[in-house]
Structure 1
Amino acid sequence: LHDLLSDQITEDKLRAEIGSDLEPDDDELQSFYDQNVDSFRETEASHILIEQKSQASKLATQLQKAKSGEVEKLFGQLAREFSEDPGSGEQGGDLGFFSSGQFVPEFEQAADELSLGEVSDPVQSQFGFHIIRVTDRRFQSFEQVRDQIAQELGGAEAEEAYQEFVQDAYEEADVRVNPRFGELDPETQQIVNASAEDTPGAEEPDEAPQPEEGGEPPATPPAEE
C-alpha cells in the first residue's frame, strides 16, 4: 500500500509540474468562448409536474387557450394547486435560470424548442408529465465562465502533455518485453498479444475422458447444490 501511495503521489506531482506552464492565455479562452457560446446559454422557465397524462393534457390545453395577458398568472395558480414538484410548485412553478445538463434531457429539449411565453404540450420524463413555459433566455458573459473555461482547457492540455511525456520516456528508456509475455503497445504502454501457450504457468485444458470402444460414455458429475 505504501508503494502504491508513493507512486500515486509521484505521478500527481509530475502531472502538476508538467501542467504548470500550460495555462491558456486570454486569447485562447476568448476563442473557446466565442466558438462554444451556445453551451453557455441559460434558460428561465416554469413548469407544472403532473403524474397522470390526462390531467396534464387538460391543464396544458387550459393554459394554451388562455389570453396572453392571463397566462402567467394562471400558470402560477395551477402550479401551486396541482404541481407535484413541491419545490417549484410553491413558487408558482418557477425554476429560475438553468444551463444545459441541469435537468433531464426530455425537459431541456422541449424547453429549447419553445418560444418565449409559449406553453408546451405535456412532456414525459421519468418524473411524470411536465407542462413547461419559457420566460427568458440569456448568455453567461465571458467573465462569468472564464475560470470554468480555463480549468477545462488547462486540464485537457496538461493531460495531453503528460501522455506525450510518458510516451517519450518509454521510448528513451528502450523498454523491452520478453516475447513469452507478449509485446509492448506503444500507444497504451500495455503488454498485449500474450497467447496462452506462450504465457508461463499457463496449462492446456485436460481433454475430456473418452469412452472405451463399445463402452458407455463417462458419467456426468452431479451438479453442486
Structure 2
Amino acid sequence: MSPRHRIVLSLLALCGLVVLGGCQQSGSRQDPSDFLPLFGDRGNDNSPVLARVGKVEITQDDLDMFLEELPPAMHRRYEGADGRRLALKHMVDKAVLALGAVERELYNDQDVARTLISRRRETLESAMTNYGLLLDKEPSDAELQEFFQEHRDKYRQLGLVKARDLDTSTKADAEAAYLRLKMGGAKNQYPYVVKDYCVNEELRKLDGDLGWFNDGGVIPIIPNSQIFTTKAFALPDGLNPPFQVGDRWHVVELYQRQPARSKTFAEAREQVRKDMMPGFQDAIIKDYLLDARKHFEVQMFGEYGPGQGMTVEEIFARAMVLPEAKDKLDLYTLIHTDYPESDRADDALFMAAQVAIEMFDDTRIAGRYLQMLIDEYPDSELIDDATYLRDNINDPKLLRRLRSGGAVGK
C-alpha cells in the first residue's frame, strides 16, 4: 500500500473512531476502546508488537508508517537503530497522552469537540474529493487534443537564436575586439578575442558561446540579461557592432536562428494536461455536487429558505456586477438551488454556463448547466439559445465569440 493511501486511511480511522468523541452529547461517557486504533491504517497487520500502552499495541508496521509519514525535514532525526527507538518512544508518549485525554473525558470539552468535529469533516471532505471523486481520473487523449485545439495559440515554441558574445568595460575595447573579429583569420576567432578582451570570467570559460536563448530570456552569466537578450535577439544574423547594456559593452555574433512556431500536440501534451486538470477536476466535483444535493435531499430553513432573505433579483443583480468569476458562478448556481421556481432560475443557469465557458474554459460543466435548463425549464425563453449552445459547445468559432463577450447567436 502506498504512503499516500496509508495516510488517508489513517485519517479515516481517526475520523471514524477518535472523532466519535466530538459527536457525543456533552457529559457522556465513552468506552476507551471506541478511540482505538491510535496508529496504523486498519489493515491486516501481522507484524510483531513492539510496545503496548494499556489496550494500545504499537507494531512494526505502525512504526514504519509513522516514520514514512514524517515531514522530510524530520527524517534525519530518526535515522539508524537509535532513531527508530526514539521514534517508538515518541509514539508511546503520544499514546499515553491520547489515552489520558480519553480517561479525563476531554472529548466533552467544547473546544476539543469542535476541533475533533472539524477535523472529521475536513478529512472526510478531502477523502471524498481526492479518493471518492478524483483518484485515477484523467482526461482522455481525445479530450486533451480537443483542449489543445481550442487553445492552440497558447502552445508555441518561442523563436530562438544561438549566439557568441564578449563583453568589455569600455567602448574602446569593444570596438577593438569587433575589428579583430571582423578582420578574420585563425587568431581573430571568438575563443582568442574573448580571452584578450572579455571581462566576464564565466563567458571566457565558454569561449564566448552563449548557446540558445529567446527574446527577453534569462542568461544567468550575463548582467541585465533580459535587456541584453531583447537587444541581441533583434540583431541581424552574423557579427554585429558593439552595443551597451548597463555598464558593459557587448560584441555579439548570431550564427543560428529558429523561428517561432506552433508546437505539435506531442510536444505540448504534458503542458496541455497541466493546464486542463484544474478545470477537469473542478467539473467532476461540480457534477457530483449537482447530483448529490438531490440525493441527500438538501433543505434550507428560516431566512435561508426559498423566498426568504435577499430577493432573487437582488442576488442576480449582485452576480452580474461581481468581478470574480467564481463568485459570479456561486451566486448564479445559488439562485437555481435555492429559488428553483423563480423566473430567474433559468436565466441563472444560462449565465452560469456562460461564465463557465468565458472565464473557466470549462465546456463540460457549462454543458451540464445548459442541459439542466433544457430539462427543468422547457418553456423558458432561453430554450433555443440553450439548445444551440449545448449542441455547438465545442465549436471553436462560437467559443472565441463568447470569450470575447459576443452573443450566442446562430
Greater strand content? 1
Q: Describe the superposition over 1:37-79 as per-residue Cα deviations: whole angstroms up to 9, x where unpaired.
A: 5x1x3311111233x3xx1x22332344457451893443232
1:87–1:148 distance in 2 versus 1, CA, 3 Å:
farther
Q: Give ranges in structure 2 of 5+ residues lacking alignment.
A: 1-6, 12-118, 220-224, 310-317, 332-410
1:138 aligns with 2:253: no
Residue 115 of structure 1, CA deviation: 1.2
Which of 46, 57, 60 is residue 174 of structure 2 equivalent to? 60
- Alpha-carbon offset, residue 130 of structure 1: 3.6
Aligned pairs for 1:74-223 (under 5 A) are: 74-99=189-214, 101-103=217-219, 104-124=225-245, 128-138=248-258, 147-170=266-289, 173=293, 187-188=325-326
Q: State whether residues 63 and 71 of structure 1, in contact with CA within 8 Å, keep that contact through their aligned partners in structure 2.
A: no
Aligned length in residues: 182
SS of residue paired to 1:165: helix
Which deviates the most, 94-103 or 163-172? 163-172
The one-letter amino acid of 2:165's match is: H
Match of 2:71 in 1: none
CA distance in 1 between counterparts of 2:218 and 2:299 reads 47
- Identify, as 1 or 2, the structure richer in helix: 2
- Please say if residues 139 and 280 of structure 2, whose CA atoms lie closer than 8 Å, have aligned partners that are also in contact: no
Q: In the aligned structure 1, how far is the partner of 2:123 from the partner of 2:194?
A: 54
Distance 1:175 1:119 in 2: 74
CA distance in 2, matches of 1:9, 1:131: 60
For the structure 1 residues 165 and 122, does the alpha-carbon distance in structure 2 shift closer, same or farther, using more than 3 Å as the test?
Answer: same
Contact 1:121–1:131 (CA under 8 A) maintained in structure 2? yes
Q: What is the Cα-based RMSD across aligned positions, in Å?
A: 4.8
Give the whole-Å Cα distance in 1 for the aligned partners of 2:299 and 2:140. 29
Contact 1:106 1:123 survives alignment (8 Å): no
User: Which letter maps to 2:144?
Assistant: P
- Residue identity matched to 1:97: W
Equivalent-residue separation in structure 1 for 2:286 and 2:327 (angstroms): 8
TM-score by length of 2: 0.34
Change (3 A) 1:69 1:49: closer
| Structure 1: unaligned runs, 5 residues or longer | 193-225
Match of 1:42 among 160, 163, 188: 160
* TM-score with structure 1 setting the length: 0.55
CA 1:12–1:114 in structure 2 vs 1: closer, same or farther (change >3 Å)? farther
User: Larger radius of gyration, structure 1 or 2?
Assistant: 2
Q: Which residue pairs with 1:19 in the alignment? A: 138
**Percent of aligned positions that are identical:** 9
d(CA) in 2 for partners of 1:9, 1:58: 69
